[in-house]
Amino acid sequence: MKQSESYIEFKNRIQEIFNFAVLITLSVPVLKRNLKLFNDGTIPRLPEPDFFEPSVMYEIKQHSLDELTNKGIDSSRIEQLSLLLNIPLNNKEFKDKTIQILGEEDYKKYRNIFKLQSSNYIENISNCTANYQSKLATYLYFSAFSYFEAFILDLAKEIIDNFATVDKNQYINDFALSNDKEVDMTKLDKKFDSGKIGRYEKYSKIIRSKGYINPEKLMFSTLTDIYNTKIDNLKANEIPDFLEKTLLFIMTPDEKETFHSIRNNRNSIGHGENSYSPCLNDVINANKFFKGLSDRIDKHAIFYFSPLKNYKE
């Protein structure tokens, strides 16, 4: 059985946040290891972030001189630079003195060798790693519920978009009440007579040619507007009732209880309250619940409300 576009998008979004979670839980241990190596003096600096600019300072260290020697800087200039070894300089002082020794071109080429991350930057990065799993779990938990909520809204819209509707106001204006139309319609609204099938077909064709639309289709188009308005204003706590009343999908009592429990936790997180702090296992359990529930909802919606492409009345 096919899947709705809304369900496919929901699964992709969930997969993305779990891919991100794997990346973070891999990256932070590597960062902690690098922090230890930096603090032990084994490495001169941490890898710089892809986007954010770290706080830096410039200072000549022995590893800087060694690296410049390996890059072919002559010994006389290395000797002059060694006079500045381990002397902190502000950026202007450092630039002026190193340009005097290296020259403008080599200064621009090699200045990153002297770049050091400030102690405040290192401390801030270290502090960011504290309790990171709890913070990550909070973001994932919030996202998982929000993505499920979006799935329900998108699915409801996708279903109704599969059905043709009419421009009601345009129809009322175009098919205005007139004597000739009323006469033709009256002929079709009398007690059924099996001997007049041909007559019924004739006048049905006539009023269709004048723009007549079956009232069922007109009423469906009216109710569609009400349905869409409800979707646009649907609150998360109304989702179980909405599914039951519109898509005829009934959640079990246990599913409703779990759904509202996760919703309350999500609200607590969203309002900045401290009453709920999820761990990664909570995220995994919530995801298992939404994975099973969304699969059931999608199969139900597709089976009962997705038009068959080649079905003929």
- What 3 state SS string does 134-202 have? HHHHHHHHHHHHHHHHHHHHHHHHHHHHCCCCCCHHHHHHHCCCCHHHHHHHHHCCCCCCHHHHHHHHH
Q: How many CB atoms lie within 10 A of CB 211?
A: 12
123 and 196 share a domain?
A: no
Enclosing domain of residue 193: 176-212
- What integer pLDDT is reported at residue 166 of this predicted model? 81
Q: Which one-letter DSSP state was computed for residue 213?
A: -
User: Is residue 1 situated within a structural domain?
Assistant: no
110 and 40 share a domain?
A: yes
User: Is residue 244 situated within a structural domain?
Assistant: no
Q: How far is residue 270's CA from residue 282's CA, in Å, rounded to a whole number?
A: 16
21 and 106 share a domain?
A: yes
- What integer pLDDT is reported at residue 313 of this predicted model? 64
Q: How many CB atoms lie within 10 A of CB 157?
A: 14
24 and 119 share a domain?
A: yes
34 and 124 share a domain?
A: yes
User: Is residue 188 situated within a structural domain?
Assistant: yes
* N-term to C-term CA, the chain: 22
- Strands (E) across the chain are located at 56-58, 115-117
110 and 193 share a domain?
A: no
User: Is residue 97 situated within a structural domain?
Assistant: yes
19 and 124 share a domain?
A: yes
Structure tokens at 197: 């099938």
Structure tokens at 85: 């070894």
User: Is residue 191 situated within a structural domain?
Assistant: yes
Query: How many domains in the chain?
Result: 2
pLDDT in tens, the chain (313 residues): 689 999 999 999 999 999 999 999 999 999 999 999 988 988 877 887 887 766 777 778 888 899 899 999 999 999 999 998 888 777 788 888 889 999 999 988 888 888 777 777 888 889 999 999 999 999 999 999 999 999 999 999 999 988 888 888 888 887 777 667 777 788 888 888 888 888 888 888 888 888 888 888 888 888 888 899 999 999 999 999 999 999 999 999 999 999 999 999 999 998 887 788 999 999 999 999 999 999 999 999 999 998 877 777 6
User: Is residue 307 situated within a structural domain?
Assistant: no
User: Is residue 106 situated within a structural domain?
Assistant: yes
113 and 200 share a domain?
A: no
- What integer pLDDT is reported at residue 260 of this predicted model? 97
121 and 189 share a domain?
A: no
User: Is residue 141 situated within a structural domain?
Assistant: no
124 and 181 share a domain?
A: no
